[in-house]
Amino acid sequence: MDYATLLQILDSTLRLGTPLLFACLAGLFSERAGIFDIGLEGKMLMAAMCSGAVAFLTGSVWLGLLAAIAGSMVFAALHGVASITFRGNQLISGVALNFLASGITVLVAQRLFGQGGRTPPLEGAARFNEITLPFAEALRPVPILGPLYAEVISGHALLVYVAILSVPVTWWVLYRTRFGLRLRAVGENPAAVDTAGVSVKGLRFAAVAITGLLCGLAGAYMATALQAGFGREMTAGRGYIALAALIFAKWRPWQALGACMLFGFFQALALRPDVVTAVVQVKIPVPFLDALPYILTVLVLAGFVGRAIPPRAGGEPYVKER
Amino acid sequence: MTLMKTLLGAAATLALTAGIAAAEPAIIYDLGGKFDKSFNEAAFNGAEKWAKETGGTYKELEMQSEAQREQALRRLAESGANPIVMTGFAFGDTLNTVAPDFPDTKFAIIDMVVDQPNVKSVVFTEDQGSYLVGMMAGLATKTGTVGFIGGMDIPLIRRFGCGYAQGVLAAKPDAKIVLNMTGTTPAAWNDPVKGAELAKGQKAQGADVIYAAAGGTGVGVLQAAADEGILSIGVDSNQNGMHPGSVLTSMMKRVDVAVYNAFTEGTDLKPGVTVLDLAADGVGYAMDENNASLVTPEMQAAVDAAAAKIKSGELKVHDYMSDNTCPAATF
């Protein structure tokens, strides 16, 4: 494998890893606050449809982005009401929302545009176009680092950089702010937080809202940057891979970046079976490469690669008094 | 309650008699979805054309999952629909088991041969059509590298790829051809994100013309090609208008004609195998105002000359499905 091919795969990795990263951080906020969220997939799908539809109708990608966040937030609020207010089973609520999203997105898109649940292709200002970072062309002649900067780091949609920046921001919020401390505490021991006079429900709703926001960005990225429009089931299981990445990262932000980029790298590799064959000298079936993220996650859960311990109060609704 | 029963009974009888009076034709779309802008949409257009011309109505069903096939087919047959047309090779096995149970119903299957006395099988010579667009790609490429992105990795799609590769090499003997398949499951027909990434990967390998034979996945390929400023080739339907000035041409596969003919024949559908080839206008390449600026008269002349040779039998395009090998490409 030559350097140019490696750069191309890394470039692809960054594009494919971005929706995973958004969704993974979304799950991180929610699960750190003690709310399991299987519904990342549904929220992304909803956001993708909203952004595709609104961006097409208004011609503005920014309005599309707002619509994506709004659509995803509605689903997040539903999940919050079901699992926080009414103390329902979080897994069931998440699965139900996934089914709902899978159906309603196609239904709405079909009613609006009549193109089989697809939104019409977006053009120009209705999409996040690729941004060339400063000096990308000027630095290209620099050996090794120049092409890396020009090919891999430069030339992505704005949301890719937003995703990368979300990682330090998430770290800072979780570990360096009072809100973050309480958020983590509410996922470990909500009774203690309650005793301190802080609202458990309020914190958990805030966490779920952040999840909605980040899933909105993930969906908008899928529909307006990676693709030009929404298509039926376009998230294709990325919400679940993001959950796997979250476990792989043991619920920590920097590790989440690593896990998502690793899984993105596997997806990018699966697109280039010729390269894989050339490197390992054995023909590896593409489905195996597709399955790698899941295999790794199972290994982590089985305790082969360190131990993954979820937040202690995760999945349990908080009851103030018994 | 009794009144309700009587009413329901009457309604049911009415529905039954209506079913007998005029057997409606029916069509089942495969997993790519009715509006895939490609294969299934062509079938839909054929059915619509028939409905418009005859004023008739037809039943339709869109597959949502692999598990529905037999159930869907049986339900349509039991409802009295006749003939029932289905698009896609994947119906082959199912139809083989279902068809004998409904000897009075006529079935038509596109892209697959099913040997039953009440089944009409319609197949196309995609190798010939792909050869022509391959020639065009070979004439249009500036880098000397062209790409092919297939949907699900099945012999039928390899037939597209093989014909294409032969066409490319006929026009440009030293050309490099990059081949990719989207996947090995039916989900590969509807994965535009992956299609777009594959197209970007092929562009990175130097390809400047990419032929997508991948159903709904092709939407992503064509989009990525337009974004990257390279040429693409559509498939099945005329996709030239999806990105004017970027889609070089489309390999037309007249699924619409096949569906229209089956509907027109109605219950008198002739069983057996029908091959729609280049000579029968079953396949071809699309020219319209959207790609007029991309195709030079010389290119068109060269391709038309090859088409004439294929029609007369002077030029034989190797069919991948005849022996599962391809002289021009390795999959």
**Rounded-to-integer distance, Cα A237 and Cα A243, Å:** 10
Question: pLDDT band for position A292 (50/70/90)?
Answer: confident
Chain B, nearest residue to A102 by Cα? B64
Residues A243-262 as b/e (b if ≥16 CB within 10 A, e otherwise) read bbbbbbbbbbbebbbebbbb
Q: Which of A131-145, A300-314, B310-324 has the lowest mean pLDDT?
A: A300-314
Q: What is the pLDDT of residue A25?
A: 97
**pLDDT > 90? residue A301:** no
Which residues does B224 contact at the CB level (< 8 Å), separation at least 6? B195, B196, B197, B199, B200, B203
Whether B2-125+257-276 and B126-253+284-323 share one fold: the answer is yes
- For the entire predicted model, the pTM comes to 0.84
Report whether A208 contacts A94 (CB < 8 A): no
pLDDT tens-place string over residues B99-109: 999 999 999 99
Q: What is the pLDDT of residue A115?
A: 80
**In this predicted model, which residue has the larger pLDDT, B68 or A321?**
B68
Chain B, nearest residue to A119 by Cα? B35
Helix/strand/coil percentages in chain B, nearest 5: 50, 20, 30
**Rounded-to-integer distance, Cα B181 and Cα B191, Å:** 12
Q: What is the pLDDT of residue B6?
A: 56
Contacts of B204 in chain A (CB under 8 A): 4-5, 8, 11
Helix (H, G, I), strand (E, B) or coil at B299: helix
**Rounded-to-integer distance, Cα B151 and Cα B133, Å:** 17
Helix (H, G, I), strand (E, B) or coil at B260: helix
Quick one: CA torsion of A248, A249, A255, A257, rounded to 10 degrees?
Answer: 70
DSSP for B44-112 reads HHHHHHHHHHH----EEEE--SGGGHHHHHHHHHHTT--SEEEESGGGHHHHHHHGGG-TTS-EEEESS
State the smallest CA–CA distance between residue A165 and chain B in angstroms.
24
**In this predicted model, which residue has the larger pLDDT, B6 or A101?**
A101
Region for residue B25 given its phi and psi (left: phi exceeds 0; alpha: psi -120 to 50; beta: otherwise) = beta
Nearest to B196 among A115, A117, A227 (CB): A227
Q: How many CA atoms lie within 13 A of B232 on its CB side?
A: 34
The 10 Å Cβ neighbour count of residue B316 is 11
Helix (H, G, I), strand (E, B) or coil at B26: strand
Rg (CA), chain B: 21
- What is the pLDDT of chain B when averaged over all its residues? 88
Residue B210 contacts A, CB cutoff 8 Å: no
- Contact across the interface for B190 and A232, Cβ inside 8 Å: yes
Q: Which sequence spans correspond to the domains of chain B? A: 2-125+257-276, 126-253+284-323
**Rounded-to-integer distance, Cα B218 and Cα B225, Å:** 10
Q: Which of A120-124, A288-292, B10-14, B218-222 has the lowest mean pLDDT?
A: B10-14
- C-alpha pair distances (Å), B229 with each of A71, B28, B194: 33, 36, 18
Region for residue B95 given its phi and psi (left: phi exceeds 0; alpha: psi -120 to 50; beta: otherwise) = alpha
Chain B, nearest residue to A118 by Cα? B35
Quick one: CA torsion of A46, A47, A53, A54, rounded to 10 degrees?
Answer: 140
Nearest to A286 among B184, B190, B216 (CB): B184
State the smallest CA–CA distance between residue A60 and chain B in angstroms.
18
Residue B128 contacts A, CB cutoff 8 Å: no
- Contact across the interface for A5 and B204, Cβ inside 8 Å: yes
**pLDDT > 90? residue B199:** yes
Q: What is the pLDDT of residue A124?
A: 84
- C-alpha pair distances (Å), A203 with each of A55, A70, A167, A216: 32, 20, 20, 20
Decide the pairing of beta strands B59-62 and B84-87.
unpaired
Contacts of A117 in chain B (CB under 8 A): 33, 35
In single-letter form, the type of residue at position B166 comes to Q
State the smallest CA–CA distance between residue A28 and chain B in angstroms.
25
- Contact across the interface for A5 and B200, Cβ inside 8 Å: no
- Contact across the interface for A117 and B35, Cβ inside 8 Å: yes
Q: What is the pLDDT of residue A315?
A: 86
Q: What is the pLDDT of residue A4?
A: 84
Residue B200 contacts A, CB cutoff 8 Å: yes
Residue B241 contacts A, CB cutoff 8 Å: no
**pLDDT > 90? residue A157:** yes
Report whether A202 contacts A213 (CB < 8 A): no
Question: pLDDT band for position B22 (50/70/90)?
Answer: low
- Contact across the interface for B197 and A8, Cβ inside 8 Å: no
**Rounded-to-integer distance, Cα B104 and Cα B83, Å:** 10
Which residues does B260 contact at the CB level (< 8 Å), separation at least 6? B46, B47, B49, B50
In this prediction, residues A146-170 reach a mean pLDDT of: 92
**pLDDT > 50? residue A282:** yes
- Contact across the interface for A227 and B193, Cβ inside 8 Å: yes
Question: pLDDT band for position A267 (50/70/90)?
Answer: confident
**pLDDT > 60? residue B33:** yes
Residue B180 contacts A, CB cutoff 8 Å: yes
In this prediction, residues A38-56 reach a mean pLDDT of: 95
Chain B, nearest residue to A130 by Cα? B227
Q: What is the pLDDT of residue B224?
A: 93
**pLDDT > 50? residue B297:** yes
Place of tokens 């920590």: A252
**Rounded-to-integer distance, Cα B206 and Cα B147, Å:** 9
Question: pLDDT band for position B9 (50/70/90)?
Answer: low
**In this predicted model, which residue has the larger pLDDT, B160 or B188?**
B160
**pLDDT > 90? residue B171:** yes
Q: What is the pLDDT of residue A322?
A: 60
Residues B184-193 as b/e (b if ≥16 CB within 10 A, e otherwise) read eebbbbbbbb
Region for residue A124 given its phi and psi (left: phi exceeds 0; alpha: psi -120 to 50; beta: otherwise) = left
**pLDDT > 90? residue A169:** yes
Residue B226: φ, ψ to 5°:
-65, -40
**In this predicted model, which residue has the larger pLDDT, A45 or B18?**
A45
Residue B31 contacts A, CB cutoff 8 Å: no
Q: Euclidean distance between the first and final Cα of chain A, in Å?
A: 63
**Rounded-to-integer distance, Cα A198 and Cα A71, Å:** 29
Nearest to A231 among B183, B192, B242 (CB): B192
**pLDDT > 70? residue A148:** yes
In this prediction, residues B216-240 reach a mean pLDDT of: 92
In this prediction, residues B252-277 reach a mean pLDDT of: 90
Question: pLDDT band for position B140 (50/70/90)?
Answer: very high
CATH 3.30.70.360 fits B126-253+284-323, yes or no: no
**Rounded-to-integer distance, Cα A6 and Cα A99, Å:** 38
pLDDT tens-place string over residues B40-84: 889 999 999 999 999 989 999 888 888 888 998 999 999 988 899
Report whether B155 contacts B306 (CB < 8 A): no
**pLDDT > 50? residue B165:** yes
Chain B 33-62, residues with CB within 8 Å of chain A CB atoms: 33-36
Report whether B147 contacts B175 (CB < 8 A): no
Tokens of A13: 């990795």
Nearest to A236 among B191, B198, B216 (CB): B191
Question: pLDDT band for position A288 (50/70/90)?
Answer: confident
- What is the pLDDT of chain A when averaged over all its residues? 90
Helix (H, G, I), strand (E, B) or coil at A242: helix
Question: pLDDT band for position B3 (50/70/90)?
Answer: low
State the smallest CA–CA distance between residue A105 and chain B in angstroms.
15
Report whether B203 contacts B181 (CB < 8 A): no
Report whether A87 contacts A35 (CB < 8 A): no
- Contact across the interface for B219 and A231, Cβ inside 8 Å: yes
Chain A, nearest residue to B36 by Cα? A116
- Contact across the interface for A12 and B197, Cβ inside 8 Å: yes
Quick one: CA torsion of B64, B69, B71, B74, rounded to 10 degrees?
Answer: 130
Q: What percent of chain B has pLDDT over 90?
A: 62
Chain A, nearest residue to B241 by Cα? A121
**In this predicted model, which residue has the larger pLDDT, A283 or B276?**
B276
Question: pLDDT band for position B15 (50/70/90)?
Answer: very low
Chain B, nearest residue to A228 by Cα? B223
Q: What is the pLDDT of residue B196?
A: 92
Contacts of B34 in chain A (CB under 8 A): 116
**pLDDT > 60? residue B14:** no
**pLDDT > 80? residue B21:** no
DSSP for B178-247 reads EEEEEESSGGGGG-HHHHHHHHHHHHHTT--EEEEE-TTHHHHHHHHHHHHT-EEEEEES--GGGSTTTE
What is the interface size between A and B, counted as CB pairs within 8 Å? 60
Q: What is the ipTM of this complex?
A: 0.81
Chain A, nearest residue to B195 by Cα? A271
What is the CATH code for B2-125+257-276?
3.40.50.2300
Q: What is the pLDDT of residue B18?
A: 45
In chain A, DSSP assigns E strands to: 130-131, 156-157
Report whether B26 contacts B60 (CB < 8 A): yes
